[in-house]
């Protein structure tokens, strides 16, 4: 909504207000650096930026990183085999071998099969998925308790069709405004980082927990021990691990 | 009159100061420390804002200088702001006016960034600045080396080669969200080092309940 304010005869008008949480949640600083914002959103963010030291520092850090990286990237990418990393044609004999698949004797039946697959996906699979995505779903609900709250590893049963929803109670902040946002890192049974997410910290003045649900789709699940590390991030970016959740996942299908 | 960013701006420029009546009063009274802080803090922000809108560093510098001149003129003429806490918004608004006038004048052929105009001479860096810059470069290098080679090429394509984002995403098999998260993580890691170098960036007198 357009706003107007007057400062000694100067009227500040026509720019939508942006609040700090919105800027963080929408990754506006990153979008600004990537030049992805519409002119209106860019104006709104700049309006906010000039009044918000946290966002100003965040953006400045990003800009310094990008500028410094631009000077270093040529040296750090020169030796990389770019042809192996991106989809570009490979030279020499392999290219000729692949080209032989374009001969009509192979190409016609292959493309006919592809056509059937694409047709099936468009007519059956995608409408089904779209319908499933647009409907309410029931998920197993398993409360997680962090290691700092004295609980051991939990066992959770789920299936690939539904996935699992894990309600998380974030403990009250040690002091008001100690954390600007919370980061979540989910590690799979191989110990590899499977997913990361960030949410803005709510202003819990009454000292109550901040409650969230982590919904993990079934397709990405596998049997074994998962761990979720929750960190609180202060306004200047420093992260502190505040809880770890560990659970054994057992898939029923 | 030219408004210079303090030479040790790496340490002080982004240190926020509460924009209250006392701060504005100091600016109006011509307090050199307050003015130096003000110019240092807002030069950084104005440059960030202007560099995507203006072609040459000289034009950015001209608009910055004109913005500061007008802000000081208004503050001295009116003896302050009715809402001191909105000083940042006021500076932004003045800058928008100056920018608009700049566009108007350049479209009429009166370009502030005319070719052939001399760039301002670079100021010499002192030893502390050189060490700090070296630490920043080391940290960025460490972060870049910690990335997957694919991601390094992706950043190069976007920021250095300035290629079309959609085309790059298609070529590297990623989406825009991937690019944002990649930048977000690198920035987050870098920010910790950057803040260490700045010292305590938390503002004097900021109300923590705002955040």
Spell out the domain ranges in chain A. 2-75, 95-133, 147-251
Is residue A97 pLDDT above 60, yes or no? no
Cross-chain Cβ contact A10/B94 below 8 Å: yes
Q: Is residue B159 part of a domain?
A: yes
Amino acid A231: pLDDT: 87
Dist CA A84 CA A191 (whole Å): 27
Q: Is residue B151 part of a domain?
A: yes
Q: Is residue B210 part of a domain?
A: no
Q: Is residue B44 part of a domain?
A: yes
Percentage of chain A lying above the pLDDT 90 cut: 7
The phi, psi pair for B123, rounded to 5°, reads -80, 145
Q: In chain B, what residues touch A37 (CB-CB under 8 Å)?
A: none
Which pTM value belongs to this model? Answer: 0.54
Kindly list the distances between the CA atom of residue A58 and the CA atoms of A29, B187, B190, in Å, as whole numbers in the listed order.
Answer: 7, 8, 10
Out of A36, A70, A238, whose CB is closest to B159?
A70
**Mean pLDDT score of chain A, rounded to an integer?**
75
CATH top class, domain A147-251: mainly beta
Q: In chain A, what residues touch B86 (CB-CB under 8 Å)?
A: 5, 7, 12, 51
Q: Is residue B112 part of a domain?
A: no
The alpha carbon of residue A33 is apart from the nearest alpha carbon of chain B, in Å, by 9
pLDDT digits (tens, 9 = 90+) for A29-49: 999 999 899 988 998 999 898
Amino acid B200: pLDDT: 43
Q: Which residue of B has its CA nearest to A202?
A: B211
The tokens describing A143, both together, are: 């409360």
Nearest to A159 by CA among A181, A179, A137: A137
Are B16 and B102 within one domain? yes
Nearest to A77 by CA among B176, B135, B162, B154: B154
Burial zone of B80 (CB within 10 Å; 0-12 exposed, 13-18 middle, 19+ buried): middle
Out of B14, B171, B206, whose CB is closest to A86?
B171
Cross-chain Cβ contact A36/B160 below 8 Å: no
More confident residue, B132 or A81: B132
Domain end: B79, B107, B135, which one?
B107
Cross-chain Cβ contact A34/B16 below 8 Å: no
More confident residue, A69 or A212: A69
Chain length of chain A: 253
Mean predicted confidence (pLDDT) in A13-36: 82
The tokens describing B112, both together, are: 């502030």
Amino acid A99: pLDDT: 55
Out of A7, A46, A177, whose CB is closest to B208?
A177
More confident residue, B65 or A115: B65
Nearest to B44 by CA among A124, A205, A61: A61
pLDDT, tens digit only, all 211 positions of chain B: 555 555 444 444 445 556 788 888 888 888 888 888 888 889 989 998 998 888 888 999 999 999 999 998 888 887 778 888 888 889 999 999 999 999 888 864 444 444 444 444 444 455 556 666 788 888 999 999 999 888 999 999 999 999 998 999 999 889 999 999 999 999 999 988 888 776 544 333 333 333 2
Mean predicted confidence (pLDDT) in A77-97: 49
More confident residue, B107 or A207: B107
pLDDT digits (tens, 9 = 90+) for A145-200: 665 554 556 788 888 777 888 878 777 777 767 787 888 888 888 888 888 888 88
Cross-chain Cβ contact B137/A72 below 8 Å: yes
Amino acid B211: pLDDT: 28
Are B103 and B157 within one domain? no
> Domain tally for chain B?
2
DSSP structural state of residue A103: S
Q: Is residue B42 part of a domain?
A: yes
pLDDT band at A102 (very low <50, low <70, confident <90, very high): low
Amino acid A183: pLDDT: 85
More confident residue, B92 or A216: B92
Instruction: Say if CB A55 and CB A29 are below 8 A apart.
Output: yes
Q: Is residue B49 part of a domain?
A: yes
Dist CA B134 CA B131 (whole Å): 5
Q: Is residue B208 part of a domain?
A: no
- Structural domain boundaries enclosing B139: 127-197
Out of A118-122, A219-223, B125-129, the most confident range is: A219-223
Is A86 an 8 Å CB contact of chain B?
yes
CATH assignment of the domain containing B77: 1.10.1740
Instruction: Say if CB B170 and CB B157 are below 8 A apart.
Output: no
CA angle B34, B45, A31 (to 5 degrees): 155
Among A89, A192, A237, the residue to mutate for chain B (most B Cβ within 10 A)? A237
Are B137 and B101 within one domain? no
Dist CA A20 CA A33 (whole Å): 17
């Amino acid at each position: 909504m357009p706003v107007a304010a007057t400062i000694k005869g100067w009227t500040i008008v026509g720019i939508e207000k942006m609040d700090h949480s919105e800027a963080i949640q929408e990754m506006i600083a990153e979008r600004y650096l990537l030049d992805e914002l519409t002119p209106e959103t860019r104006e709104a963010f700049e309006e906010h930026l000039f009044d918000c030291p946290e966002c100003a520092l965040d953006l400045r850090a990003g800009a310094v990183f990008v500028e410094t990286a631009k000077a270093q990237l040529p040296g750090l990418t020169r030796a990389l085999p770019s042809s192996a990393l991106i989809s570009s044609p490979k030279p020499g004999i392999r290219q000729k071998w692949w080209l032989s698949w374009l001969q009509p004797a192979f190409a016609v039946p292959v493309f006919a099969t592809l056509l059937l697959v694409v047709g099936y996906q468009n007519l059956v699979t995608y409408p089904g998925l779209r319908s499933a995505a647009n409907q309410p779903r029931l998920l197993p609900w398993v409360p997680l308790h962090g290691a700092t709250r004295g609980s051991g590893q939990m066992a959770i049963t789920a299936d690939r069709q539904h996935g699992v929803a894990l309600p998380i109670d974030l403990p009250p902040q040690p002091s008001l405004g100690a954390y600007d946002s919370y980061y979540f890192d989910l590690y799979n049974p191989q110990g590899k980082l499977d997913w990361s997410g960030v949410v803005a910290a709510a202003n819990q003045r009454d000292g109550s927990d901040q409650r969230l649900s982590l919904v993990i789709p079934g397709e990405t699940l596998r049997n074994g021990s998962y761990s979720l590390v929750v960190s609180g991030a202060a306004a200047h970016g420093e992260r502190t691990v505040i809880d770890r959740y560990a659970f054994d996942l057992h898939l029923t299908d | 009159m030219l408004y210079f960013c303090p030479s040790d701006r790496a340490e002080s420029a982004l240190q926020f100061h509460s924009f209250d009546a006392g701060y504005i009063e100091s600016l109006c009274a011509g307090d050199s420390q307050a003015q130096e802080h003000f110019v240092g803090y807002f030069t950084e922000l104005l440059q960030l804002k202007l560099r995507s809108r203006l072609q040459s560093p000289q034009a950015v510098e001209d608009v910055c200088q004109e913005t500061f001149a007008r802000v000081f003129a208004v503050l001295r003429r009116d003896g302050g702001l009715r809402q001191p806490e909105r000083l940042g918004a006021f500076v932004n608004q003045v800058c928008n006016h100056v920018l608009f006038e700049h566009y108007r004048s350049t479209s009429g052929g009166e370009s502030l960034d005319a070719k052939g105009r001399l760039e301002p001479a670079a100021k010499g860096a002192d030893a502390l600045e050189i060490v700090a810059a070296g630490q920043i470069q080391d940290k960025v290098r460490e972060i870049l080396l910690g990335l997957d080679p694919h991601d390094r090429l992706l950043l190069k394509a976007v920021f250095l080669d300035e290629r079309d984002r959609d085309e790059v995403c298609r070529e590297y098999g990623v989406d825009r969200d991937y690019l944002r998260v990649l930048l977000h993580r690198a920035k987050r890691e870098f920010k910790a080092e950057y803040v260490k170098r700045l010292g305590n960036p938390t503002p004097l007198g900021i109300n923590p309940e705002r955040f």
